[in-house]
Structure 1
Amino acid sequence: MIPEPLQQTELQAEHFSRYLEKHYEHLHRPHRHSFYHMVLFTSGKGSHTIDFDRFEVRPFQVYCMVPGQVHSWHFTSAVNGYVVNFPDHFFRDFLYNPYYLERFPFFSGISAESVFQLPAPLHEKIPALFEELIGSALDAQSPADMNRVLLLQILLLMSTEMAGHPAKAIPEQKKMILHNLRRLIDVHYKSIRLPKEYADLLYITPNHLNALCKDLLGQTAGELIRNRVLLEAKRLLINVNKTVAEIAYELNFQDNSYFNRFFKKYEGLTPDEFRRQFLK
């Protein structure tokens, strides 16, 4: 079965082939975790779907997922690599910074940013650290802080290598506004739907907010908010135990028919049609 929620200081690290043996019956079905989930493939082929975006599995490809994201696997050959699961509080007391993991671009919660090819200079170094982490995690005598240090080394090495090849130079002030906007939307998307309200929370004008979103993301602030609502709707729709009416209520829509019209307008399918098509 899918791993149970982790304790605050617990970490799971193992070879992916072993992880697959224990969990494959459930991994090919869409599911979500309450913890951070990171996988490095060293061999094999197949596909991985994260928040309804599909990626081809390749050797030395890394997947980094935050709590709440929906994903599933489909393999066409034997695969191996490494998998690490850790709770969202894993580094909190160690680093005294509740937002430390947000500094890593691959933990943004955006599927397109969470999948990347490991650069050649790290092809030996990162697997070696994973091996050391697995050994430490299995050793009951190894202090928990050793696991934290080893995992931090992996994250920092990957982040440093990615930062050395930026796709686009963005001023720090703009990056901070966008980062704070995404955080605010993640917290308030069910109750706050207007860009003006987010602009007020960020102490900037709605025009400034829209211009920044268009410049950095190619989307308006309104589209960013709407897409977050749609993403959560799709995440909830894979849970067959929830009715569409219950999901509409949870997402703060006035009624079920309004939710149906909203969803079909932007997805081209009704919520029921999406559920049937995706779970098929």
Structure 2
Amino acid sequence: MKEIRDKSGEFLLGLKEPQDDFLCKPAQFSEYTVYFIPEGQGTFHADFGAFPFKGPVLLFSTPLQVIYINDCRITKSNIIQFHSDFYCIEYHREEVACNGLLFNNIYLDPVVVLTEREAGIFELLLGQINDEFMQPAPSDIVLRAFLQLFLAKASTIKMNAISTSQDKPEKDELMERFRQLLNVHFLDLHKPSDYASLLAVSPDTLTRRCSKYFRKSPSQLIQERLILEAKKQLHLTRQSIKEIAYNLKFQDEFYFSRVFKKFTKVSPQTFRDKTGISIVADLYK
């Protein structure tokens, strides 16, 4: 693996060609991780979601997501990983718009399907990143610029796919309303039956249509939405664990920690230690 680290030895950016069995078992990384798979197919698992893919594609995961690939028949791939200390997707959200599009969106598939021409562009970018790593003193500025271009290009392709409904050819208005309701009520309503009542459908209907549309059950989405907000506050604010637990309406920080660890496999404090506090944290005071 080619990589750069800061003066204290902390990982900042890396590029590697993994072995075939690299992601056969569930893994968690402290960094944002992007897989470029020009050829091959499989099923990408990220937390509760399962997303079949066929190359050429890009696959995206956020820090400390539980991820793996099964039914894997991949002949070639690259992985690029970066820590938020090296490139903050929240700070650069206006230029790149990848936060909430490629990363940190529980409703969208973490997959960007590429044409052969687009795959060639990403191969070129990865080649340029690799060339910079090969320099006697790789430039952080150059590597950051290539990474930003990589993410910006991927964001543009994803937005075009969404605008032309390539991601979900058959729009389900009921599920779009469920998405809206969940974003409004996720702190207070924690049962699928609560949302089924608001939508005037049976819980079975909600589960069936949600699983088809989002590839996750209502229970999984409800839990992911709460944990996503917890991760956001841990990374983007300087509030204490106790304050965040209060914000999320947990009875105390200990119950919050148990729920968070059950989902992420790490405690809130460990998540914060591994991902760091964003440079934009002071904007959220």
TM interval, short-chain normalised: 0.5 to 0.7
TM superposition shift of 1:150: 0.8
Deviations 1:92-135 (A, max 9, x none): 4xx99275698211112437431121134412111111111122
- Mapping of residues 118-137 of structure 1, within 5 Å: 118-137=114-133
- Conserved in 2, the CA contact under 8 Å of 1:11 and 1:137? no
CA separation in 2, counterparts of 1:102 and 1:128? 19
Which residue matches 1:47?
Answer: 43
Residue 97 (structure 1) aligned with residue 91 (structure 2): yes
CA RMSD of the aligned region, Å? 4.6
Which residue matches 1:269?
Answer: none
- Conserved in 2, the CA contact under 8 Å of 1:50 and 1:111? no
Residues 61/222 of structure 1: CA separation in 2 closer, same or farther (3 Å cut): closer
Residues 167/137 of structure 1: CA separation in 2 closer, same or farther (3 Å cut): same
Deviations 1:127-156 (A, max 9, x none): 111111122124342211111111111111
Residues 60/168 of structure 1: CA separation in 2 closer, same or farther (3 Å cut): closer
Code of the residue aligned with 2:58 in structure 1: it is V
CA separation in 2, counterparts of 1:12 and 1:59? 22
CA separation in 2, counterparts of 1:49 and 1:142? 33
CA separation in 2, counterparts of 1:99 and 1:165? 19
Q: What secondary structure is seen at the aligned counterpart in 2 of 1:123?
A: helix
Which residue matches 1:228?
Answer: 225
Code of the residue aligned with 1:114 in structure 2: it is P
Q: What secondary structure is seen at the aligned counterpart in 2 of 1:113?
A: coil
Deviations 1:28-47 (A, max 9, x none): 22121111000010122333
Residues 138/248 of structure 1: CA separation in 2 closer, same or farther (3 Å cut): farther
Which residue matches 1:149?
Answer: 145
Q: What secondary structure is seen at the aligned counterpart in 1 of 2:102?
A: helix
- TM-score, normalisation: structure 1: 0.54
Which residue matches 1:62?
Answer: 58
CA separation in 2, counterparts of 1:250 and 1:64? 26
Which residue matches 2:83?
Answer: 87
- Conserved in 2, the CA contact under 8 Å of 1:229 and 1:251? no
CA separation in 2, counterparts of 1:252 and 1:56? 29
CA separation in 2, counterparts of 1:85 and 1:111? 23
CA separation in 1, counterparts of 2:118 and 2:95? 21
Residue 113 (structure 1) aligned with residue 102 (structure 2): no
Gaps of 5+ in 1: 170-177, 196-209, 212-216, 233-246, 254-258, 260-280
Residue 20 (structure 1) aligned with residue 14 (structure 2): no
CA separation in 1, counterparts of 2:49 and 2:220? 18
Which residue matches 1:242?
Answer: none
TM superposition shift of 1:231: 9.0
Residues 111/61 of structure 1: CA separation in 2 closer, same or farther (3 Å cut): farther
- Conserved in 1, the CA contact under 8 Å of 2:42 and 2:70? yes
Which residue matches 2:257?
Answer: 250
The structure carrying a bigger helix percent of its residues is: 1
TM superposition shift of 1:50: 1.3
CA separation in 1, counterparts of 2:138 and 2:106? 34
CA separation in 2, counterparts of 1:44 and 1:13? 20
Q: What secondary structure is seen at the aligned counterpart in 2 of 1:44?
A: strand
Q: What secondary structure is seen at the aligned counterpart in 1 of 2:112?
A: strand
CA separation in 1, counterparts of 2:90 and 2:42? 39
Deviations 1:154-190 (A, max 9, x none): 1111212333343379xxxxxxxx99x96x99xxx8x
- TM-score, normalisation: structure 2: 0.53
CA separation in 2, counterparts of 1:36 and 1:154? 13
Q: What secondary structure is seen at the aligned counterpart in 1 of 2:37?
A: strand
Gaps of 5+ in 2: 166-178, 190-197, 200-212, 230-253, 263-285
CA separation in 2, counterparts of 1:83 and 1:114? 15
